[in-house]
Amino acid sequence: MILSVLSSPALVSGLMVVCAKNPVHSVLFPILVFRNTLGLLILLGLNFSAMVFPVVHIRAIAVSFLFIVMMFHIQIVEIHEEVLHYLPVSGIIGLILWWEMFFILDNETIPLLLTQRNTTSLRYTVYAESLISLVAMIGAIVLTMHRTTKVKRQDVF
């Protein structure tokens, strides 16, 4: 039951990353995905992975948020009334999917995977991902910098 409570919002938030019209909202939905994924990792007993996961992936969110805010001068997108007409139909479809997922995950015959300690393989991965996120952040800043010729520069030496 805990598995379905943690995985369902992660799936819905993952879908909202793609479906959100406002790019800022689509950057904020992965935070919900990561929060629920951390709960799943702790539930599986992978405590070290649960500590490393947010450090690496929240940097990825910061890079994408930085890129979106700097590259596109975001205007707040309002929800149109046309979208509200589809709300009851999507709610019914969502309830049907929730009901099906509840009965699939309620089955006790699903074997649990044996947890293995993978701290030795993660020590190399964390450094590589940190370097990649640093390069991505610098790249987002360099791509969005505007060089103007109106700036007066002074030669000091």
Query: Cα separation of 13 and 84, whole Å?
Result: 19
Handedness of CA 37, 42, 44, 48 (dihedral sign): positive
Average pLDDT over every residue of 12-36 = 83
Q: What is the pLDDT of residues 69-115, one digit of tens each?
A: 666 654 444 555 666 777 788 889 889 888 877 777 666 655 555 55
Is residue 27 scored above 80 in pLDDT?
no
pLDDT at res. 76? 44
Pick the CATH number of 2-108+117-144 from 1.10.260, 1.10.10, 2.60.40, 1.20.120: 1.20.120
pLDDT at res. 140? 72
For the chain, the structural domain boundaries read: 2-108+117-144
Q: What is the pLDDT of residues 40-61, one digit of tens each?
A: 888 888 887 777 777 777 777 7
What's the pTM value of the predicted model, to 2 decimals?
0.46
DSSP 77-145: PPPPHHHHHTHHHHHHHHHHHHHHHHHHHT-TTSPPPPP---HHHHHHHHHHHHHHHHHHHHHHHHHH-
